[in-house]
Amino acid sequence: MSEPTGAMRLPRQLGEVIDRGEPLEFTWNGRPCHGYAGDTIVSALAAAGERVFSRSMKYHRPRGLLTASFHDPGCMVQVGDEPNVRGAHRLAAGGMVVTSQNTWPSLRLDAKSVNGLGGRFLTAGFYYKTFMRPRFAWPAYESVLRRFVNGGTVSPDTPHTRPEKRHAHPDVLIAGGGPAGMAAAISAAEAGASVLLVEEEHGLGGHLRWGSEADLAALAELAGRVAAEPGVEVLTDAVVIARYDGNALAVLERRHGGAEAERLIRTRAKTLVVAPGLIERPYVFAGNDLPGVMLSTAVRRLINLHAVRPGQRAVVLTANPDGDAAIADLKRAGVEVARVEDARLGGDVSAAVGRTGVRAVQVADGTRIDCDLLVTAVGWTAPTSLLNASGDRPVYNPRAARFFPDASRLPGDVLVTGGIAGDGSLEELTEHAAAVGTEAARRAGRIAAARVAATPTRRAAAPLAPGPGAGTGPAAAVMPPDLPVEAHPELFIGRTNGFVDFSEDVSAKDLRAAVAEGYDSAELAKRFTTATMGPLQGKLETVNTVAVVAAATGASIAGTGTTTWRPPYVPVTLGALAGRAFEPVRYSPMQPWHEAHGAVPLVAGAWIRPDHYADPAAEARNVREHVGIIDVTPIGKLDLRGPDVPALLNLLYVNKWSKLGIGRVRYGVMCADDGVVLDDGVTGRLADEHYLMSTTSSGAATVWEWAENWLQTEHPDWRVHITPVTTAYASMNVAGPQARRLIERVTQGVDLSNEEFPYMNVRTGQIAGVDDCVLWRIGFTGELSYELHVPAGYGLHVWETLLDRGADLGIGAFGVEAQRILRLEKGHFIVGQDTDGLTRGFSAGLEWAIKLDKDDFVGKPELAWQFADGSGPRLVGLQPVDRSVVPEVASLIVEGGHIAGRITSSRMSPTLGRSICLAQVEARLAEPGTEVTVRLPSGRLIAATVMPQLAHVDPDGERMRV
């Protein structure tokens, strides 16, 4: 039977991950391509004989397979509307539309590859130097350069998704699901720990997956034991992208195929086991980026996992047993191995030659060998990202030619095993890992036991089942002997110039030039050349970069040190980071009525409130002439009980509270200790030791915390209970000349006459059949008004009853805008609108309220000093001389070329038919009758007169006292 999926497809391989029973078809640059389930996009293309998958960033050089893993710099492709897909990792799926990125007009004939001819001019720092002058031309440069950026394209039509996040709390998180990670997981679970095992590849096993028959048997055995452990949760195609203090770990779970591509798991692990294995390092020589130059692990993955023949005729440079194993794999796959250069015996390659792929290789002795494949196995890079994030500084070991963790700097809740910790046989590695897993479980158990002991939810519960949480398991530390470290030749840079950073097109020569220009440390050279700053973030490039800089500066690699790896370890979509944004919204019980009656919503903090239903001016006029009703549920309400409530009120408010009688209500203002106005509202006394405090809507939470802070930290001996009851009550203000007539119709048990229930009093009673309602007689609007607080579940019922029973009285609902007009007519200031973060009490018209003869109250010293020196602006009522002009809020008041104040509130008054304002002005301009100059945003100057008082309507307050 012929192979339908391509000329390079091999017969069945022992460890292959493709399902030959499930063929699939997708398109590559518009042409159909066949593969099998289990193929990556690039393995399917390679099976079909494709060698070039992208063009490089700067020089537009053709690029092919290098690592055959997620971290393959040449294999980024566009899939549908998703850019920058890692093609050597992403599994192929039927119907995928795959295109190459950064190519024009096509991948084969890329016009921009002329960059390559002029490459010697595009040296390090070229962009910085060339496009800086003349400065004004940068926008033009930028628009051209943008087209040369090698990202994919983002579609504006991509559906918007809200990726989910979740939290996880494993005892032990194991980063890396190779043999070491699996062995650690098994032993940790056997010790009773809950384990999250996170593996970047599509399956567990690490290098065993593309290994020998014995490796595959070992993998099957380990995988079986992992699967049999109920305490182990396995995540494949997932990566630990970051570690923060206390093992806060961000785990990225990829979920391909759905609208939700990635999900973030916010993990708080008690211990972390770092077992990511090793990343094979490329070699630097001329032509090292040509399609057909591959790492030994890449050819082993292609052959053993995907049954793809990587080439026809190969040259192999090997310095280690993995390279030797690749040679055996190549031979078995029918690839002619034309030459083996053994670096351990002095072998080397000096150049790969070709235009769109390798056609020949020149080896150390000068021989030129025709071939289409060059395989290198020159050593390993330890991916120490999570160790860096744990405060570790990896140390270079020249004997092994790689960096190792510095055990002395690792925190106690981070452990290391596997290839990153050392070498050795599979048995040695898994033994080490098993011991590390047991120790990780033991340490997790100690941490868990401490947390359980500190947590009250655990108390009096059933005794813990045996496990780490119970503090059982081995009592003493189990630390295995260190893994052996095998010698490896130090092979970084060959004799010729080649690429160090494939993603950024940075060559060894560029780095040497950077050092010559004075950027003589790894960190500086990195920033100047952008080496290690591309999509791979140094996974392939870091150590070679350090080696070049070390050689150029004459320092050792150990002395040069690595650049620091910072999170995230791999790219993460912004959607996954953002996740489902929790934005709580709050509604009043009357919200269904507002919606049904066309209320225009106003977003006020978390609250959704009706701004207006129709014309706000008409709504305001109706309050003055008949009666209106407004939903004021968001007004903050605090239930205060206890013998020391008066002391608390005296402390928090600037005015006096000792003699408030039962049934009485008083207005109060709070300042902070810097004397700045914090909040205002009224407080009523319902019973002997029972008060109800109201706050501004936006200040409800602040005042509650403010009061608790003073109680808990300054006066813990005071006996006061504060309970927030803001939304226990539906609150509505009934205001207007007809208010009493309406309230009388629905209220039982309260004498509403002005004599029995005068202004600034509070009563409780039954409204519309609902018990336990609270009625305040107060007047923010300046009219006769009753503020009703009814148990919230009945709010809609009472609201509807009032509107029904008030129909003949001309009742109309009004919104926040009409209320703002009414209060401005009345000259009532709003904290945060007519005051700001610098407005002290005497700047808010509060001379009458501030009682400096009280023993102490919050803000008293500053207010006393302000009273003494008369400093700060003053709040005044302002009347534009041209009565038709409404100066915008924040219009400036100017005086002799200086700013002397500002308009804080302004409206056209429907009651007076003229403009009205409140303003903050310098104290010397605050005298009634003073004419000031207001500068409108247009620049026009108008005259305005300071009023004798803040109120424009009914300054004597007769209307609300009737």
Partner 1 sequence: MSEPASRGPASTGPGATGPASTVPVARSPIAPPPPVLVLAGWEVSGRRARAGLTLTDCTPLAKVQLRAPVGGGAAAELGVPFGRAARDRDGTLVAGSGPGEWLLLAAPGQGPALAVRATGLASRFPGELATATDITHGRALIRLSGSRGAGVLAKVCGIDTGDDITPDGAAFRCAVAAVATDVIRDDTGGERSYLLHCERSSGAYLFGELLAAGSEFGIEIDGFTPPGI
Partner 2 sequence: MTILLPCAWCGPREATEFAHIGEVAARPDPGAVTPAQWREYLYLRANPCGWTSETWYHRMGCRRFIRVERHTETNEVRPVPAAAGARAGEPAP
CB of 692 to partner 2, least distance (A): 20
Q: Which is nearer to partner 2, 453 or 962 (CB)?
A: 453
By CB under 8 A, the residues from 790 to 819 that bind partner 1 are 791-797, 800-801, 803-805, 807, 811-813
Least separation in angstroms between CB 688 and partner 1: 13
- x-or-dash pattern for partner 2, window 838-877, by CB under 8 A? -----------------xx---xxx--x------------
Which residue reads 């009945």 in tokens?
Answer: 794
Site for partner 1 in 655-714 (CB under 8 A): none
Q: Which stretch binds partner 2 (CB under 8 A): 38-46, 415-423, 712-720, 806-814?
A: 712-720
Please confirm whether the linkage preceding 105 is cis (ω < 30° from 0).
yes
CA distances 542 to 55, 89, 377, 390, 564, Å, are 22, 22, 17, 19, 10
Between helices 213-228 and 179-190, what is the axis angle to 10°?
30
Query: How many residues sit close enough to partner 2 to count as binding (CB under 8 A)?
Result: 25
Binding mask 414-453 for partner 2 (x = CB under 8 A): -------------------------------------x--
Query: Under the criterion CB under 8 A, does residue 606 sit at the interface with partner 2?
Result: no
Q: Give the one entry of partner 1, partner 2, none that residue 607 binds, where binding means its C-beta sits below a cut-off of 5 to 8 angstroms depending on kind.
A: partner 1
Whole-angstrom CA distances from 654 to 145, 673, 686, 868 are 63, 11, 21, 16
**The token pair that represents 718 in the structure block:** 């005071």
Q: State the nearest-atom distance from the C-beta of 94 to partner 1, in Å.
A: 24
Q: Does 596 bind partner 1 (CB under 8 A)?
A: yes
Residue (of 159, 133, 36, 48) closest to 92 by Cα position: 36
Q: Which residues contact 393 (CB under 8 A, 6 or more apart)?
A: 406, 409, 561
Residue 719 contacts partner 2 per CB under 8 A: no
504 with 57: CB under 8 angstroms?
A: yes
Binding flag, residue 454, partner 2 (CB under 8 A): yes
286 binds, among partner 2, partner 1, none (CB under 5 to 8 A by kind): none
790 to each of 310, 587, 677, how far by Cα in Å? 78, 16, 30
Choice from 22, 615, 688, 714 touching partner 2 (CB under 8 A): 714
Please check whether residue 43 is in contact with residue 271, taking contact to mean a CB–CB distance below 8 angstroms: no
Burial 146-167 (b: 16+ CB within 10 A, else e): eeeebebeeeeeeeeeebebee
- Nearer residue to partner 1 within complex by CB, 262 or 505: 262
**First and final C-alpha spacing in the chain:** 102
**Three-class SS of residue 522?**
helix
Residue closer to partner 1 (CB basis): 216 or 614: 614
Using the rule CB under 8 A, is 587 a contact of partner 1? yes
The answer to whether 583 contacts partner 2 (rule: CB under 8 A) is no
Q: How many CA atoms lie within 13 A of 8 on its CB side?
A: 24
The distance of closest approach from Cβ of residue 89 to partner 2 in the complex, given in angstroms and rounded to an integer, is 28
Sole binder of partner 1 in the list 261, 353, 728, 894 (CB under 8 A): 728
Closer residue to partner 1, CB minimum distance, 355 or 459: 459
CB contact burial 938-948 (16+ within 10 A = b; e otherwise): eeeeeebbbbe
- Cα distance between residue 122 and residue 139, in whole Å: 20
Q: Does 716 bind partner 2 (CB under 8 A)?
A: yes
Task: Give yes or no for residue 673 binding partner 2 (CB under 8 A).
Answer: yes
Cβ atoms of 745 and 738 closer than 8 Å: no
464 near partner 1 (CB under 8 A): yes
Which lies closer to partner 2 via its Cβ, residue 332 or residue 451? 451
Report what 656 binds from partner 1, partner 2, none; CB cut-off 5-8 Å by kind: none
Q: Which does 794 bind (CB under 5 to 8 A by kind): partner 1, partner 2, none?
A: partner 1
CB contact at 8 A, 693 and 609: no
From partner 1, partner 2, none, interface partner of 13 (C-beta below 5 to 8 A by class): none
Q: Which stretch binds partner 2 (CB under 8 A): 34-42, 131-139, 711-719, 792-800?
A: 711-719
Query: Which of 191-200 are b and which e, b meaning 16 or more Cβ less than 10 Å from the residue's Cβ?
Result: bbbbbbbbbb
Give the HSE-up count for residue 549: Cα atoms under 13 Å, Cβ half-sphere: 31
Interface residues for partner 2 in 266-285 (CB under 8 A)? 268
CA 538 – CA 314 distance, rounded (Å): 28
Taking CB within 5 to 8 Å according to partner kind, which of partner 2, partner 1, none is near residue 390? none
Q: How far is the CB of 669 from partner 1 (least distance, A)?
A: 26
What separation in angstroms does the CA of 374 have from each of 290, 347, 508? 9, 14, 20
- The span from the CA of 71 to the CA of 40, in Å, is 13
> Which residues, 6+ apart, have CB-to-CB distance to 801 below 8 Å?
746, 768
Peptide bond into 134 cis (omega under 30): yes
Q: How far is the CB of 569 from partner 1 (least distance, A)?
A: 22
The single-letter DSSP state of residue 924 is G
- Residue 194 · residue 170 · CB < 8 Å: yes
| Six token digits for residue 791 | 């148990």
- 3-state SS, one letter per residue, for 171-234: CEEEECCCHHHHHHHHHHHHCCCCEEEECCCCCCCHHHHHCCHHHHHHHHHHHHHHHHCCCEEE
Selection from partner 1, partner 2, none that 583 binds (CB < 5 to 8 A by kind) is partner 1
Site for partner 2 in 230-269 (CB under 8 A): 244-246, 248, 268
245 touching partner 1, by CB under 8 A: no
| Residue 404 C-beta: closest distance to partner 1, Å | 34
Selection from partner 1, partner 2, none that 19 binds (CB < 5 to 8 A by kind) is none
Which of 27, 106, 712, 871 lies at the binding interface for partner 2 (CB under 8 A)? 712
Cβ distance to partner 1 smaller for residue 151 or 793: 793
Does the footprint of partner 1 cover residue 593 (CB under 8 A)?
Answer: yes
Q: Which stretch binds partner 2 (CB under 8 A): 26-34, 255-263, 455-463, 937-945?
A: 455-463
Q: Does 466 bind partner 1 (CB under 8 A)?
A: no
Residue 714 contacts which entry, partner 1, partner 2, none (Cβ below 5-8 A, type-dependent)? partner 2
Do 350 and 364 touch, CB atoms closer than 8 A? yes
The site map against partner 1 for 564-583 (x = CB under 8 A) is: ----------------x-xx
Contact between 768 and partner 1 (CB under 8 A)? Answer: yes
The listed partner (partner 2, partner 1, none) that binds 127, CB under 5 to 8 Å by sort, is: none
CB 933: neighbour CB atoms within 10 A? 15
Site for partner 1 in 599-628 (CB under 8 A): 606-607
**Residue ranges in 151-180 that form contacts with partner 2 under rule CB under 8 A:** none
554 binds partner 2 (CB under 8 A): no
Under rule CB under 8 A, residue 460 binds partner 1: yes
Smallest gap from Cβ 958 to partner 1, in A, equals 28
Burial class (CB in 10 A: 0-12, 13-18, 19+), 213: exposed
Burial category of 366 from C-beta neighbours within 10 Å (exposed 0-12, middle 13-18, buried 19 and up): exposed
Give the DSSP H/E element, type plus range, for residue 865. helix 860-869
Binding site for partner 2 (CB under 8 A): 244-246, 248, 268, 451, 454-457, 673-674, 705, 708-709, 712-714, 716, 855-856, 860-862, 865
